[in-house]
Structure 1
Amino acid sequence: MTHHFRVSELDCLEIAGRQHSLVSLNRTGSIWSRLDDPSVCISLTGDELIRLLAAPDTRLRRSFFSSKSAYRRLRHDHNYLQSVEPEKRSKALWQSTCVQVFLEAEARRETTRTERSIDALRCELERRVNLIEEVDQDLGRKPRAGQVLVRRRFPSARWLLEWVRLAEKGGHSPLVFLRKKSGKVPNKRLAADAEGLLAECVLGYLDRNEPTQEQIVSHVKDRFTDANAARVLIGQPALSVPSASTVRRRIRGLDPFEVMAQRKGIDAARRKFGFFENGIPADYPMQRLEMDEWQIDLVSLLGESGALDCLPPEERARFAVGRRWLYVAVDCATRCILGFRLVSTPNADDAIRMLNLIIQDKTPIAVAAGCESSWGQSGGIGQLFTDQGSAFVAEKFRVAVADLGATYEAPPAGVPKLRARIERLFRTFGQQLAPMLIGRTFSDPVARGDYPSEKWAALTDDELAKVFTLFVVDIYHNTPHSGLMGETPANAWKRLEAEQGVTPPPDANQRRAVLGIPHSRRLGRHGVRVFGINYTCPQLQTALLRGAGGEVDLRIDPEDLTHISVCLGQEWFSAEAVSGAVHGLSFDEWLVLVRVLRERFKEEALLSEHVVREARKKIRAIDAEARQLRRVQPPHLTADMLQQEERRLFLGLRIGPEASSATGAPEHPHNRGRPGPDDLFGDVVEPAGPITPKDGGETAEPDVTSDDEEWTFDD
């Protein structure tokens, strides 16, 4: 499948530190020119761009050259909310919530952009903001009497309008609130009243340059001054210069939809006004997404299959049963499902992992489930619409969405038509998929009757994952959709991708920095060591040379241990594993591999790298399909789990080339003495080399000589 991505002249492609701007784009690929030397151009097909974005030194900064991005860069020095101090980050998100609640009220015509109107609704606006903030603070806690909930004082009408203007100038990113504006432009009283000339002047407000009302007032005064001078010359009386209140009244009298469409574009006008009645419109893939959680209309076995597979349904039903929840994301333009995830209970961590599925090609999951069709629908998120569930209003989820460069919207609760696509999709699951499965719960007790749902529960988590994957990829995506005028979602994606293009996904470093599992490690001569693997990059080496020390924040992608992201200052950099033996391995594969090698070679102090590679091939062949399906199932890794596994299994494990900084002992490459308490296995993995067997086929101990005290495992 050839990818066609939707990029623009406002995007910046950074390759090895050099910035490139888009020159031209068509269905076959794109051409980019270097900013410092426009005569140097590169051409990239969609597939080449995908491979390039996976490289550690490539970044695609969407809308980097736009006025809104430039405005944000003038106000702050941060690229991600992840790098902001918790208190400042919370306040910025709170300010963003205040703006969002006001804009929702304005769109419903409950208030206008005047201080008097806002003061009349101030208590209700404050109540809505506090409700969202309290849901976030209660996330993960069992409600108890006496728990402390932090509330912030709601801003005055004047400051709220100032925040709204800041948000609109900065593209509605919470980052725009991180630093206060140094100067303040005083408000002016505006003017207007003489019909023909006044109407012409007021229409100047409908311009994409977005002139302010003050500029229109000045323009009116200038035009009337010039007109009056001309009228005096021909003996006509001067026109009365319109008053400020008249100018304001005429501007407010303009059609709101037309004003928004002319000043900010038709997409912004549809987003502000249209979707409240007609759902969320979208013109191309990944422009607008809807995401929600749904309790599956099915009672299932709470666990993975395996030992239960050979049991009949009535025996399997004796085990723990219940109803799983499902996170689903759907593309509004094509109705394609961009991912789903089975969870035990709704939570912000699984919602964030759902974001990771949205931006990745899920064809390996489809292959593991035995699908006939591919599942390549993916890309960068434009706007994400959710309800006001606790997982979605959580700070960590909103931070992740903002750092991915997407816009987050949470329309008012209790109005399902605002998320019409996702609500209709859940109804499709209940009407088309549930009847094919045993143990369904039906829509209500009356419809259920005496159907023994719990008794007939038979499907496990991995079976549910396979069933939903087959239904989504092979049935739903290839079934004519009434909302697409009879076109299938898969064909709609192919057509719109070819015609309009798809927003490209985040680069590998951004995806890890935003969605990776947080970790921390001490910086040393070996770089940073995680799970017995040494990682390094030029930025880490420079930091060490300049005397940097202490803990370094990391982000880890458990699906691929080839690279990790390290935070130095306020910037995230990609560090690569020193040993090629772990390239392409997932954490699960590395965990199994280390357990096997420790058990098999517990009597030996050294392992050659070819042993690791051979074991790796065997384990990957066995685990390939199951590993892909686990990406959409409830079990998942957390930072605490990673730390627990590292303390228990990776104690003292080091891999890397001999006599290098990766070993941590470059000054003694061949003469190591007794290891310290953290070096139980010392250098477990060494470069491949000949090992002379003893008589009888046993492996000889390595020839180690040292002035230090020698040791063996018998010690």
Structure 2
Amino acid sequence: MMQHFRLSETDCLQIAGVQHRLVRSDRSGSIWARLDQDHIRLAFTGTELLQCLGGPDTRLLRGHFSHSAALRRLRCDLQYLATCEPQKRRQALWQETWAKFFLDMAATGETSRTERSVKRVIPELERRVNEAEASGQDVGRAPRAGQTYVSFRAPCARSLLDWVRRYEAGGRSPLVFLRKRRLNAASPTLMAEAESLLAECVVGYLDRNQPTQEDIIKAVADRFAAVNAARREAGTTQLRVPSARTVRRRIKALDPFEVEAQRKGLEAARRKFGFYEEGLSADYPLQRIEMDEWLIDIASLLGDSGALDGLPAEIRSRMEVGRRWICVALDCATRCVLGFRIVPTPNTDDVILTLHLITQDKTRLAEAAGCQSSWDQAGGIGVLVTDQGSAFAAELFRMAVVDLGATYEAPPAGVPKLRARIERLFRTFGQQLAPMLIGRTFGNSVERGDYPSEKWAALTDDELARIFTLFIVDIYHNTPHAGLKGETPANAWKRLSAEQGVTPPPDANTRRVVFGLPHTRKLDRHGLRVFGINYTCPALQEALLRGHAGDVQLRVDPEDLSHVSVCLDHEWVSAQAVPRAVWGLSLEEWQSIVRELRMRFKAEAVVSERIIREARAKIRAIDAHARQLRRLQPMQLPEGALRRAENHLYLGLRIGPEESAATGDLDRRGDRQAAGHDSLLADAIGPDQPVGAPPASVVPVQPFSGNEEWDYNA
């Protein structure tokens, strides 16, 4: 099916550092013009644009040319919260929490935008904010007496109102709190008569004809010119004409609800600032996404993925039994499930992985589960709505949402109707899926009766993942939905994505920055080495020439080792893997290849890249099917496992084409010495050699032993 993305004239497509603006977008594709040379145009179909976004030098900056984004750039020079210092990031998210809770209370009529009204609700706001912040800090630790919480002193009413105005003007992004705009000098106070005239003119902005700010600025200039002409004839002092900047500040100070109501009508204001009984409406795919967790109504066997599948029933019955949680993301406009994760307990890491699934085509995953329908519902995120659970309140999750360019909302706790669609989906799971499965726990003890749920538990994590995938993709997506007036979610997605378009997914660099594994490395003449692979790019080479010292932050995509994202001077750039043999490999596949080669060739002197490519093909063919379903199941990765793997498995690992810097030397082919300490697999991987006895110059090496001490700083 032809991809149709929902693009805006405020979007910026940056290719190899050159910015382009959107000229036209429809179902056939999009046309972009260079900012510096408007006559140069680029055309992409939806599929071509998606491929382009996967490139290392392509960025799609959503809303880059909008007023709110321009305001954020004036106040803050950072694009990602991940780049900000932890203390400043924590404070910005804390300020955002204050602004959000105030807007919630203002929308329900509990307060208004006056200092007197705000002073009355400050204690209640402080209680809600502290409760939410404490919940976010509890992620990953068991509650214990004496634990500390980081908190900040509550703002005064005037400061809070200033935060709210800045938050709304900046497109509801916490980035506006990172740096205040510094004004050169305070504006002189206007005379009382001038203030009165200015107020009369500014009120003209509240008109159903929706005049622009420039219209009001011109009206102010004309009005003051007329008054000053009369004052000159009377011989009185002239009034100082307010600057355009002053007029704009007065307009922005108007109550947003009143502005919306006067210019577009009361109903439009209610839609913008108030909640419906079933949540805010969504008109196109990915405009609004609801995300929540549910304790599955099934008692299952708790064990590592695949570990219990081959055991007989009598042995399974003696295994540990319990209930898993499922974290689900649901598109409000089409009711399509955009991703889910089955987890032991709600936690931040898994909800972020669910967030990642929203942006990915999951058809291969559905095929691995045996589905007949595709699962291609994916794209960028508009507004993400969750409850106030600790996993969602955590700083890492909120930072990921902001860095994806999405808006985060957390309606008040205890009001499930504000997330009605996801709650309805969980009822569907309980009423339609659970009755088909053994080990059902039912909604309560009365419904359950004497049904022996734990005794009859038989499903493993693998089976649960496959069952939920089959139910969602083949049954739920193809069943007429009452909320869609009888249309199926799959058909609603096809229709609305064709009519309205879909928000484009994040580009590859943004995806790595937000979802990648964080690492720190030293920069040397070979670039950066991660998991035994050298990465380089022009920006890294320039940083090395400038004498860059200290550690370099980077992010690794565990699903594709072709590139990494590197942070240089608060900017994230893409660095490419030097050896082509690892392009397209996942981290798990690379680990399997290295383990296999360690075992097979520990007594050999030379192993070629051809052998690596052959091993890669074999491993992919064997377990590619199983790897897909692992993305939906609990991932048990002990803390520090990757670091230990680097200290032992990837020890001294270097790989690259012959006569390249990645091998550790730039000597000529004829002068190259035998493979040694710096070659691949620490023993040796060199160029392809004819089958037979090794060259005389090759010195035999001792077999690899996992108990040996190694130095990774080679």
Q: What's the TM-score once normalised by structure 1's chain length?
A: 0.89
Q: Contact between 1:201 and 1:219, CA under 8 Å: does it hold in 2?
A: no
> Are 1:327 and 2:316 matched, yes or no?
no
Find the aligned partners of 1:96 and 1:114 in 2 and give their Cα distance: 19
* Distance (whole Å) between structure 2 residues aligned to residue 476 and residue 151 of structure 1: 44
Structure 2 counterpart of 1:108, which letter? T
**8 A Cα contact 1:299 1:457, kept in partner:** yes
Q: Secondary structure at the match of 1:519?
A: strand
Q: d(CA) in 2 for partners of 1:690 and 1:315?
A: 50
CA distance in 1, matches of 2:118, 2:100: 14
8 Å CA contact 1:192–1:217 kept in 2: the answer is: no
Alpha-carbon shift at residue 116 of structure 1 (Å): 0.4
Decide which moves more: 200-209 or 406-415: 200-209
- CA distance, structure 2, for counterparts of residue 399 and residue 254 of structure 1: 28
In 1, Cα distance between the equivalents of 2:154 and 2:218?
32
Contact 1:519/1:639 (8 A) holds in 2: no
Query: Following the alignment from structure 2 to structure 1, what is the Cα–Cα distance between the partners of residues 37 and 273?
Result: 41
Q: Kindly indicate whether residue 494 of structure 2 is the aligned counterpart of residue 494 of structure 1.
A: yes
Partner of 2:407: 407
| CA distance in structure 2 between the aligned counterparts of 1:254 and 1:319, rounded to whole angstroms | 58
Residues 561-580 of structure 1 aligned to structure 2 (within 5 Å): 561-580=561-580
SS of 2:9's partner is coil
Partner of 1:352: 352
Q: State whether structure 2 residue 63 is matched by structure 1 residue 47.
A: no
Q: 2:236 aligns to what?
A: none
For residues 261 and 536 of structure 1, what CA distance do their matches in structure 2 show? Answer: 53
Moved more, 160-169 or 251-260: 251-260
Q: Work out whether residues 280 and 419 of structure 1, in 8 Å CA contact, stay in contact via their aligned partners in 2.
A: no
Say if 1:476 and 1:218 are closer, same or farther in 2 by CA, change over 3 A.
same
1:585/1:253 CA distance change after superposition, 3 Å:
closer
Identify the residue that residue 463 of structure 1 maps to in structure 2.
463
Secondary structure in structure 1 of the residue aligned to 2:518: strand
Cα displacement (A) at 1:203: 3.6
Q: Which runs of 5+ in 1 are unaligned?
A: 230-246, 694-699
Task: Describe the superposition over 1:411-462 as per-residue Cα deviations: whole angstroms up to 9, x where unpaired.
Answer: 0000000000100000000001001110010000010011111111111111
1:140 shift after superposition: 1.8
- Whether contact under 8 Å (2:205, 2:213) holds in the other structure is no
Give the stretch that moved more between structures: 436-445 or 644-653. 644-653
SS for the counterpart of 1:277 is coil
Moved more, 392-401 or 644-653: 644-653
Opposite residue 694 of structure 2, the aligned amino acid is E
Confirm or deny: 8 A CA contact 1:206 1:259 kept in the other structure.
no
- Provide the C-alpha distance between the structure 2 equivalents of 1:681 and 1:310, rounded to a whole number of angstroms: 34
The CA distance in 2 between the partners of 1:640 and 1:684, in whole Å, is 27
Letter in 2 for 1:152: F
SS in 1 for 2:351: helix
Moved more, 530-539 or 299-308: 299-308
Equivalent residues of 1:525, 1:664 under 8 A apart = no
Cα distance, 1:276 vs. partner? 4.2
Alignment of 1:390-539 (within 5 A): 390-539=390-539
The 3 A distance-change label for structure 1 pair 105 and 224 is: farther
- Counterpart-to-counterpart distance in 2, 1:511 and 1:332: 23
Change (3 A) 1:175 1:252: closer
Equivalent position to 1:204, from 183, 187, 207: 207
2: CA distance, partners of 1:312 / 1:65: 61
Task: Name the CA shift for 1:436/1:662 in 2 (closer, same or farther; >3 Å).
Answer: same
Structure-2 separation of matches of 1:135 and 1:464 = 29
Distance 1:41 1:141 in 2: 53
329-338 vs 581-590, which moves further: 581-590
Task: Supply the distance in 2 between the matched residues of 1:226 and 1:498 (Cα, whole angstroms).
Answer: 58
Change (3 A) 1:144 1:254: closer
> Contact conserved, 1:527 with 1:541, CA < 8 A, in 2?
yes
How far off is 1:581 after superposition? 1.0
1:163 aligns with 2:163: yes
Contact 2:23 2:31 in 1 (8 A): yes
Alignment match, 2:66:
66
The Cα of 1:193 is off from its aligned counterpart by 11
Match of 2:132 in 1: 132
Q: What displacement does 1:550 show?
A: 3.0
**Relative to 1, partners in 2 of residues 1:276 and 1:639: Cα closer, same or farther, differing over 3 Å?**
farther
* Aligned-pair CA distance for 1:641: 2.4
Distance 1:200 1:174 in 2: 30
**What does 1:37-186 align with in structure 2 at a 5 Å threshold?**
37-183=37-183
Cα distance in 1, alignment partners of residues 507 and 207 from structure 2? 41
Q: 1:182 to 1:252 in 2, by over 3 A?
A: closer
SS in 1 for 2:384: strand
SS of the counterpart of 2:401?
helix
Amino acid at match of 1:691: P
Shift, 1:549, TM fit? 3.3
Counterparts in 2 of 1:619 and 1:202: CA distance versus 1, 3 Å: closer
* Residue identity in the other structure for 1:141: R
- State the 1:702 CA deviation: 3.2
CA distance in 2, matches of 1:254, 1:326: 38
The CA deviation at 1:315 is 3.2
Q: In the alignment, which residue of structure 2 is the partner of 1:238? A: none
Q: Deviations over 1:501-539 (max 9, x none)?
A: 000000001000111111112111111111111111111
**Structure 2 equivalent of residue 691 of structure 1:** 690
Query: Structure 1 stretch 77-86 or stretch 642-651: which is displaced more?
Result: 642-651
- Equivalent residue, structure 1, for 2:300: 300
Question: Cα RMSD (Å) of the superposition?
Answer: 3.2
3-state SS of paired residue (2:452): coil
Matched residue, 2:695:
702
- Asked if 2 retains the 8 angstrom alpha-carbon contact of 1:671 and 1:704, the reply is no
For 1:459 and 1:187, the matched residues in 2 are separated by 74
Cα drift, residue 141 of structure 1:
2.0
Q: Which of 699, 702, 709 pairs up with 1:713? A: 702
Distance 2:428 2:600 in 1: 51
Q: Does the residue aligned with 2:514 lie in a helix, a strand or coil?
A: helix
User: What is the one-letter code of the residue matched to 1:562?
Assistant: S
Structure 2 segments unaligned to the other structure (5+ residues): 232-249, 705-714
Q: Taking every aligned residue pair, what percent have the same amino acid on both sides?
A: 59
User: Displacement of 1:38 after TM fit?
Assistant: 1.2
CA distance in 2, matches of 1:634, 1:455: 23
Q: Structure 1 157/434 Cα, relative in aligned 2: closer, same or farther at 3 Å? A: same
In the aligned structure 2, how far is the partner of 1:255 from the partner of 1:307? 61
Q: What code does the residue aligned with 1:526 have?
A: H
Deviation at 1:209, TM superposition (A): 4.0
Of 55-64 and 582-591, deviating more is 582-591
Q: Which amino acid aligns with 1:475?
A: I
Q: Distance in 2 between matches of 1:544 and 1:205?
A: 59
Q: Any conservation in 2 of the 1:261–1:269 contact (CA below 8 Å)? A: no
* Cα contact 2:676–2:683 (8 A) shared by 1: no
1:235 alignment counterpart: none
The one-character-per-residue Cα deviations of 1:453-505 (angstroms, maximum 9, x if unpaired) are 11111111111110000000000000000000000000000000111000000
Counterpart of 2:339 in structure 1 is 339
What residue in structure 1 maps to residue 378 of structure 2?
378
For 1:254 and 1:415, locate their aligned partners in 2 and report how far apart those are by CA, in whole Å. 23
**Equivalent residue number for residue 643 of structure 1:** 643
TM-fit CA distance, 1:406: 0.3
Which letter maps to 1:634? P
Q: What's the CA shift for 1:714?
A: 8.0
| 1:258 maps to 2:266 | no
Cα deviation code 1:368-387 (max 9, x no counterpart): 00100000000000000000
Deviations 1:315-353 (A, max 9, x none): 312111111111100001000000000111111111111
Q: Distance in 2 between the 1:112 and 1:99 partners?
A: 13
Kindly provide the amino acid, as one letter, of the partner of residue 32 in structure 2. Answer: W
Query: In 1, are the aligned partners of 2:675 and 2:684 still within 8 Å (CA)?
Result: no
Whole-angstrom distance in 2 between the partners of 1:41 and 1:162: 42
Q: Per-residue deviation at 1:659?
A: 2.9
In structure 2, do the counterparts of structure 1 residues 674 and 360 end up closer, same or farther at CA, with 3 Å as the change threshold? Answer: closer
